[in-house]
């Protein structure tokens, strides 16, 4: 389900705008959440890249270091159509880095440090974003009111449309793969993720329509904020409601796999109903050996700040700069979706 068809959790669109007219309109700064150890065989390179995808930069670093591609790792993929800062680890067993440091018109090294372990996928606290929305059309008071709501309530934690490929084609490709079509190993992982994400988005969209994406139903499984730890179901009481209000815990939706759904009562009934006609994807994911997991339905948007920019070409349609932090696995595009209609270019 693409972003433009997903229901908004905080109300109808309050703006229309453009983004990514330039790469600098979309800036991402990775936060690993730890400091390098200062010793070890893995050289951590913090790199700024422009218009380059993460895997390609990793290939260039392997060539520079004279090692196999598997010797370079990174915590997460970063958007190609942006200016991003992220860290790569390069395994250098003799602790000797070639000179000079790698450089290309698409990337440059900002910092380096030695570390005891390579960077595994997902090993980051989150990302800081600086986004510029151009030619914003909409009532300024309504836009600022919506931003205040986003800061206090968060947004529905959808998977962004980039997870689903061009025109959402990854889900159809996943169905074909599950039906027996041969797919190379690298692409297989993307298609599995798209299938799982599509099922989750369907459940979350229904909770948004019902107005329950940020509150508990009977039989709820909760996730602790800032972790993947879950608990429940358990009887709802004032203590749980207060923890929900404080964003200490969040309701969850299914990441499909083998086994029984963990939620009970109303939540189990809802999820079974929404996914009743998705047997192709469900059976395919189960055959891949994945197990039932949970993902938070609500995404807190931390450190949200905004300013209207004085250098906008048209004062009647000013530019708007947004700054915020999202945990790992979250999408900045769903924050924009909660605001309104933001087109590319």
Rounded distance between C-alpha atoms, residue 66 and residue 72, angstroms: 11
Q: In the Cβ-directed half-sphere of 299, how many Cα atoms lie within 13 Å?
A: 29
Phi, psi of 137 (to 5 degrees): -115, 125
Of 3, 25, 79, 214, the active-site residue reads: 79
Closest by alpha carbon to 299, among 272, 343, 338?
338
Rounded distance between C-alpha atoms, residue 45 and residue 91, angstroms: 11
Say if residue 249 is exposed, middle or buried (CB neighbours under 10 Å; 0-12, 13-18, 19+).
Answer: buried
Closest by alpha carbon to 89, among 32, 29, 28, 27?
32
220 C-beta neighbours (distance < 10 Å), count: 27
79 given a catalytic annotation = yes
Rounded distance between C-alpha atoms, residue 158 and residue 205, angstroms: 8
**Which residues carry out catalysis?**
79
């Amino acid at each position: 389900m693409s972003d433009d068809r997903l229901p908004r959790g905080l109300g109808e669109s309050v703006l229309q705008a453009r983004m990514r007219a330039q790469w600098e309109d979309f800036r991402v700064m990775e936060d690993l959440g730890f400091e390098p150890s200062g010793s070890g065989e893995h050289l951590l390179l913090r790199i700024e890249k422009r218009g380059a995808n993460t895997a390609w930069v990793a290939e260039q670093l392997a060539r520079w270091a004279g090692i196999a591609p598997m010797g370079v790792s990174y915590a997460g993929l970063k958007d190609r159509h942006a200016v991003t800062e992220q860290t790569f680890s390069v395994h250098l067993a003799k602790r000797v880095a070639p000179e000079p440091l790698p450089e290309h018109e698409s990337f440059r090294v900002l910092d380096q440090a030695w570390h005891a372990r390579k960077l595994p996928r997902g090993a980051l606290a989150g990302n800081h974003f600086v986004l510029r929305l151009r030619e914003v059309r909409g009532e300024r008071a309504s836009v600022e009111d919506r931003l205040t709501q986003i800061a206090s309530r968060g947004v529905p934690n959808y998977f962004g449309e980039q997870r689903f490929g061009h025109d959402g084609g990854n889900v159809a490709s996943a169905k074909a793969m599950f039906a027996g079509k041969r797919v190379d190993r690298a692409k297989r992982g993307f298609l599995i993720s798209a299938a799982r994400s599509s099922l989750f988005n369907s459940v979350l969209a229904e909770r948004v329509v019902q107005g329950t994406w940020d509150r508990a139903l009977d039989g709820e499984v909760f996730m602790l904020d800032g972790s993947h730890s879950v608990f429940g179901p358990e009887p709802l009481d004032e203590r749980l409601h207060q923890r929900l209000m404080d964003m200490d815990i969040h309701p969850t939706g299914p990441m499909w796999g083998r086994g029984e759904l963990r939620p009970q009562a109303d939540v189990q009934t809802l999820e079974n109903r929404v996914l009743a006609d998705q047997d192709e994807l469900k059976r395919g994911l189960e055959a891949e050996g994945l197990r039932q997991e949970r993902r938070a339905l609500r995404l807190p948007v931390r450190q949200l700040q905004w300013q209207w920019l004085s250098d906008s070409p048209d004062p009647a349609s000013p530019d708007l700069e947004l700054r915020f932090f999202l945990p790992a696995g979250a999408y900045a595009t769903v924050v924009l979706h909660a605001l309104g209609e933001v087109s590319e270019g």
